[in-house]
Each structure stands twice: as structure tokens, then as C-alpha cells.
Amino acid sequence: MNRTIALLTGAGLGAGMMFFLDPKRGKQRRAMVRDKMIRMSHQIQDARDTVVRDARNRMRGLAAGDLSILIGGKNALRGNPLRGAWSPTGRAILGAIGGALFLSGLTRQAPTACVLGTAGLGLMIEAATNAGIEDISQMPQKMAKLATETLGHDGHDGRQTRRQERASAQVGIGG
């Protein structure tokens, strides 16, 4: 078993090295990976700057005595808090709490682990997508509507109908 894993690992590493050290296109592939890594690091820095700026502004509001600023203003206090439209700071905090719950669930026994892990994963998804519970619950209907708009009302994209028309036309021509 260990020899098989070592062989597969060596083959994978060798194939990866061949892919990136290829004399014809390896330089282009390495440059593309470098460019994507630089772009991703810039996106991470921009997101971090946005969260820091938002947190700074919210702390100023909190210092002025407005507690509603923590969850998005006075209008956010009305209705469902899991409606989406979280601030960047709220999303970062929500994601951190969800991650902590998920990791805590990994250290527990069966029933508690399932509850903590599911709750944590749900909070992390809420933080990542910024979609409300209503948006998530309406997803099957939206996907069905998109499928019928894309494929047509009969459930397919029309290729089968065209094939049948061609086949019947060929039979009519040959007869």
C-alpha cells in the first residue's frame, strides 16, 4: 500500500514538473500561474482594506453611541437578521464565528458535532455569499426557471426535435 502511494505521488510530482518545465510552453504556464497568484493577492488585500475601513467607520459610530451600527443600521433591526445584505465587517465576523463553530464541531461527539458543524457551515456560507435565507430557500425555483428558459418548455434544447425532423425528412426523400 505504501509503495503504491509513493509511486502515485512520484508520478504526480513528475507530471507536474513536466507540465511547468516544458521547454515550449512551460515559461508561459509559469507566468500565467504567477499572474493569477498576484491578482489573487491584490484581491485579498483589497478585501482586507475594505473590511478594515468598514470596521473603523463602524467603531466611530459605536463610539458616538449608535449600537445599531453593528448590524447595519436602524432599519436592519426590523425583520429577519438572516436576510443577507451584511456589511463587510459583519460578514468577516460572521465567517469567523461560523469557522469557529465548524472547527469546534470537529472536536465533538456525534450529535453535538453535527449541530455545531452544520450551524458553522451555514454561517460561513451566509458570510461568503451574502445571500439571505429567503434567497437560499427560493434557489430551487430560480434554478428551475433558469433551466426552462435555457432549454425550452419541453425540457430539452431542441436538438432532439431537429434530429427527428431531419430523420423524417430523409425518410420522405428516400421513399
DSSP for 65-78, written as a single string = T-GGGGGTSGGGGS
Residue 73 resides in a domain: no
* 143 and 116, same domain (yes or no): no
pLDDT of the residue at 175: 46
On average, the pLDDT of the chain sits at 79
* 128 and 171, same domain (yes or no): no
Dist. CA 78–CA 92, nearest whole Å: 22
- Say yes or no to pLDDT of 84 above 60: yes
pLDDT of the residue at 63: 81
Residue 71 resides in a domain: no
pLDDT of the residue at 141: 85
Q: Domain of 162? A: 138-175
pLDDT of the residue at 174: 47
* 99 and 49, same domain (yes or no): no
The last residue of a domain, from among 33, 65, 97: 65
pTM: 0.48
Dist. CA 45–CA 86, nearest whole Å: 20
pLDDT single digits (tens) 6-34 = 999 999 999 989 988 888 998 999 999 99
Beta-carbon count within 10 A of 68 CB: 13
Domain count, the chain: 3
Highest mean predicted confidence (pLDDT) among 24-33, 106-115, 152-161: 24-33
* 58 and 11, same domain (yes or no): yes
